[in-house]
A = this chain, B = another copy of it.
């Protein structure tokens, strides 16, 4: 585990919101010079604390108006069936995240679709035919807020 001071935390918080900011602009906010800020960001990246920079795409602008969370219970849960399930689910383009979890379900999937009719197609033809699928529970996303987290 890596030790961070308050300035590192401020930089991570600022960059979590908008990763396009330059080292110079960030430095002005936290009271540091451009090279000092740049070195801190480089250290955090080399450390692995910053794992990468990803695009944030607007689902709706892309025509995918529906996002649904599925809780999936497997009928048979050997090591082989977990791998079979994961391989098969990774081939469905509508699946955005695959979370292997412990609790009431075995997997949580985030699935996007153009509309409810499109979602029904994905559910019936793609999800329900996955190897080993038992119970499936669905929650339709109404709205979502992402927060900085406890950096």
Q: How large is the interface on A (under 10, 10 to 19, 20 to 34, 35 or more residues)?
A: 35 or more
Residue of B nearest to A113 (CB): B150
Residues from chain B with Cβ under 8 Å of A52 in the complex: 18-20, 55-56
**How many angstroms from the CA of A72 to the CA of B43 in the assembled complex?**
39
Which of B15, B142, B147 touches A97 (beta carbons < 8 Å)? Answer: B147
A49 contacts the other chain (Cβ, under 8 Å)?
A: yes
A95 contacts the other chain (Cβ, under 8 Å)?
A: yes
Judge whether B90 and A62 touch: CB under 8 Å: no
Residues from chain B with Cβ under 8 Å of A96 in the complex: 146-147, 149
A144 contacts the other chain (Cβ, under 8 Å)?
A: yes
Shortest distance from the beta carbon of A142 to any chain B beta carbon, whole Å: 4
- A58 with B62: in contact, given A69-B101, A101-B142, A141-B101 (CB under 8 Å)? no
A117 contacts the other chain (Cβ, under 8 Å)?
A: no
Judge whether B69 and A12 touch: CB under 8 Å: no
Using A16-B54, A16-B55 as known contacts, list a sample of 19 further A-B pairs with CB atoms less than 8 Å apart, ordered by residue number in A.
Answer: A2-B62, A12-B55, A12-B57, A15-B55, A16-B57, A49-B58, A50-B58, A51-B58, A52-B55, A53-B55, A71-B139, A90-B145, A97-B144, A98-B145, A99-B145, A101-B140, A102-B142, A104-B137, A105-B139
